[in-house]
């Protein structure tokens, strides 16, 4: 007899198909954040729902997820519909809801890629190999972080109340236990950074993502080549402005492939 | 007798309130692009519709606009609804439609700002004053550009088939005729750049914005202080990947205020 234990990430994004574009998921303790689940896993579940939809054509190109209210522990409904299907791309609208109302809205663009002149303009940050860096101990109050092996290169979680002039954090990160990269995993990784304001202020304070936008730069075949290796994830802020700051991030494959760029606007109280 | 002629931008975003969150607008020849209207003016009309909605609280913080299909010449309906109202922010969903179906979807976050530690992390590009730079002649095929005074600092429209190693364009720009800055105008300005792939390839080729996300960093009072002055707008790409590239932009007030940061994913054929 063979017993297969599902990877905790697969459990967290596992969806039952209820027909007509409705999918039911369940929050899992493994992906809990301080309030509600990790935003990255909610975004990943939305991508997963669209991927499972029978009308879906192509692969993720762009995704915007808006966090309206915390998802409560328990089941949630993801309703997805194709707003328009073009020749090479498809636009989706998604809403996550629970008994208490809508918690999350999203729009997504799926598309097919073709041969065309291509180039990477951004430069991968230089970093020593992850194996040479110390892993990070996860704070008890943030359960979802235990699902990631994190090796900070720059701008780690502030522990000594020291303010930083830079808002940049760069880390090697991969899923724990190891799991092959796919679009759901990559989506979750775009939200793996602690809030930039913690770094600048040298301490934790109330903060939460309001809206997250990710652009995907590879297709599924290119993404599969990544395997279970670490990605180099880097993020910085452009402006902290009276209660809201922005963050821009890059997710790089170890070999120098820019897998995704991602942006978010974050509420903070200081 | 006094005759008042409306500013062409005000005409382009003028909406009739049909009740229940439905607003009707009309495309105008002044804001025509090669196919359909300038994407920036469609985004501005969506912001305008939410601003006019009686339930609206606060001011724009984030906006994502998805371009599903060209808007045809004539009237269009903008349907907006508040998906959730929180204590300090409000989430909106919008759809633009015409007889032939949905052309544009959008989500927006409006919010109120409060006193909090604030800082600008990004650095304004250095540029000579706009008055010292030559203005740009608008190509006949792109009517909407006539509504903007543009003075390129770096990375102007390629005219000599010369490829550029850089994807960065920086320009001083303001509305023509002069018009006081507001959120609708700022929204349109985030889409004022020609496609980055033109610069890299040294020529025009088929390209169009698929999804645009803007984060606003000022409130209406701060924005009003800008008056009718030029903004310094800068944009670059991170990756051109088999038919889709991303663009990240900053819009700066002349005095060094970062008014907005904006990102888009663009389809191209090469």
**Averaged confidence pLDDT in chain A:** 96
| Domain ranges within chain B, ordered by starting residue | 8-113+126-268
Residues of B with CB below 8 A from A243's CB?
A: 88, 111, 113-114, 116
Distance CA A150, CA A176 (A): 9
Comparing CB atoms, the residue among B105, B120, B240 nearest residue A83 is B105
B264: preceding bond cis by omega (within 30 degrees): no
Task: State residue A88's pLDDT score.
Answer: 93
* Least trusted range by pLDDT, from A61-75, A96-110, B126-140: B126-140
Instruction: Tell me the pLDDT band of B3, cut-offs 50, 70 and 90.
Output: low
The rounded percent of chain B whose pLDDT value lies above 90 is 91
Q: How deeply is A182 buried, as exposed, middle or buried, from its count of CB atoms within 10 A (0-12, 13-18, 19+)? A: middle
- Which of A101, A113, A121 lies nearest to residue B239, judging by beta carbons? A121
A243–B116: do the CB atoms touch at under 8 Å?
yes
Count of Cβ atoms closer than 10 Å to residue A68 Cβ: 24
Q: Please, are residues A145 and A32 in contact by the beta-carbon 8 Å criterion?
A: no
- Tokens, residue B218: 């000022």
pLDDT at residue B4, rounded to an integer: 72
| Residues of A with Cβ-Cβ distance to B87 under 8 angstroms | none
Instruction: Compute the average pLDDT of residues B149-159.
Output: 94
Residue A49: pLDDT band by 50, 70, 90 thresholds? very high
pLDDT at A27: 98
Percent of chain A exceeding pLDDT 70 equals: 99
Q: What is the pLDDT of residue A5?
A: 84
pLDDT at A1: 57
Mean pLDDT across A217-232: 97
| Residue contact B246–A261, C-beta within 8 A | yes
pLDDT-derived band at B7 (thresholds 50, 70, 90) equals very high
Poorest-confidence range of A101-105, A140-144, B137-141, B229-233? B137-141
Write out chain B residues lying below 8 Å of A269, CB-based.
116
CA distance B205 to B207: 6
Q: Does domain A8-113+129-268 have CATH number 2.40.160.210?
A: yes
At residue B122 the predicted structure's pLDDT band, cuts being 50, 70 and 90, is very high
Q: Does pLDDT of B42 surpass 70?
A: yes
**pLDDT at position A2, please?**
62
**A140 pLDDT higher than 90:** no
Which residue in B69, B88, B111 is closest to A84 by CB distance?
Answer: B69
- Segment B79-83 shows an average pLDDT of 98
What is the pLDDT confidence band of residue A136, given thresholds at 50, 70 and 90? confident
Does pLDDT of A117 surpass 90?
yes
Tell me the pLDDT band of A118, cut-offs 50, 70 and 90: very high
**Average pLDDT over every residue of A36-40:** 96
Taking the model in full, what pTM does it have?
0.97
Closest by Cα among A167, A154, A184 to A237: A167
pLDDT at A4: 72
CB neighbour class for B129 (10 Å; exposed up to 12, middle 13-18, buried from 19): exposed
ipTM of the complex: 0.97
pLDDT in tens, B159-198: 888 999 999 999 999 999 999 999 999 999 999 999 999 9
Chosen for mutation from B89, B107, B195, B247 (greatest number of chain A CBs closer than 10 Å) is B107
- pLDDT value for B1: 58
Above 70 in pLDDT, residue B215?
Answer: yes
DSSP H helices in chain A: 8-12, 39-52, 183-189, 196-201, 220-224
Number of A/B CB contacts below 8 angstroms equals 202
Query: What pLDDT does residue A153 have?
Result: 97
pLDDT score for B2? 63
Q: Enumerate residues 234 to 253 of chain A having a beta carbon within 8 A of any beta carbon in chain B.
A: 236-244, 246, 248, 250
Burial degree of A88 (CB within 10 A; 0-12, 13-18, 19+): middle
Q: Which tens digits make up the pLDDT trace of B219-246?
A: 999 999 999 999 999 999 999 999 999 9
Handedness of CA B125, B127, B130, B136 (dihedral sign): negative
Please tell me if residue B221 touches chain A, with a CB cutoff of 8 Å: no
pLDDT tops 80 at residue A167: yes
Interval B98-120 mean pLDDT: 97
Question: Which range is least confidently modeled, A147-156, B139-148, B249-258?
Answer: B139-148
Mind listing the pLDDT tens digit for each residue in A239-255?
Answer: 999 999 999 999 999 99
- CATH topology for the B8-113+126-268 domain: Porin (2.40.160)
Give the count of alpha carbons within 13 A of A172, CB side only: 18
B204 touches chain A (CB under 8 A): no
B215 interfaces chain A, CB cutoff of 8 Å: yes
Mutate one of B186, B217, B249 to test the A interface: name it (highest A CB count within 10 A).
B217
Look over chain B and give the mean of its residue pLDDT values, rounded to a whole number: 96
Question: Does the pLDDT at position B204 exceed 80?
Answer: yes
Q: Minimal Cα–Cα distance from B208 to chain A, Å? A: 12
Q: In chain B, which residue's Cα lies nearest the Cα of A211?
A: B62
Q: What integer is the mean pLDDT of B98-118? A: 97
pLDDT at position B264 is 98
**Contact predicate B243/A124, CB 8 Å:** no
Position A71 scores a pLDDT of: 97
d(CA B50, CA A269): 26
């Amino acid at each position: 007899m063979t017993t297969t234990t599902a990877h905790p990430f697969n459990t967290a994004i596992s969806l039952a198909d209820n027909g007509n574009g409705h999918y039911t998921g369940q929050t899992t303790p493994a992906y809990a954040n301080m309030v509600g689940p990790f935003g990255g896993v909610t975004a990943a579940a939305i991508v997963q729902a669209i991927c499972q939809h029978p009308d879906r054509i192509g692969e993720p190109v762009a995704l915007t997820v808006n966090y309206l209210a915390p998802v409560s522990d328990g089941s949630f409904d993801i309703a997805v519909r194709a707003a328009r299907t073009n020749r090479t791309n498809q636009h989706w609208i998604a809403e996550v809801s629970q008994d208490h109302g809508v918690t999350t809205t999203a729009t997504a663009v799926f598309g097919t890629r073709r041969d065309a002149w291509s180039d990477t303009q951004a430069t991968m940050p230089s970093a020593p190999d992850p194996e040479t860096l110390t892993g990070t101990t996860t704070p008890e109050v943030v359960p979802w972080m235990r699902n990631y092996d994190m090796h900070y290169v720059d701008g780690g979680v502030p522990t000594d109340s020291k303010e930083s002039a830079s808002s940049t954090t760069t880390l090697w990160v991969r899923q724990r236990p190891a799991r092959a990269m796919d679009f759901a995993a990559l989506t979750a990784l775009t939200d793996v950074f602690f809030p930039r304001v913690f770094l600048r202020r040298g301490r934790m304070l109330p903060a939460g993502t309001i809206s997250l936008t990710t652009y995907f730069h590879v297709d599924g075949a290119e993404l599969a080549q990544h395997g279970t290796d670490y990605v180099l994830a880097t993020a910085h802020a452009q402006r902290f402005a009276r209660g809201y700051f922005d963050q821009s991030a890059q997710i790089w494959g170890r070999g120098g492939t820019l897998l995704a760029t991602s942006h978010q606007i974050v509420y903070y109280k200081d």
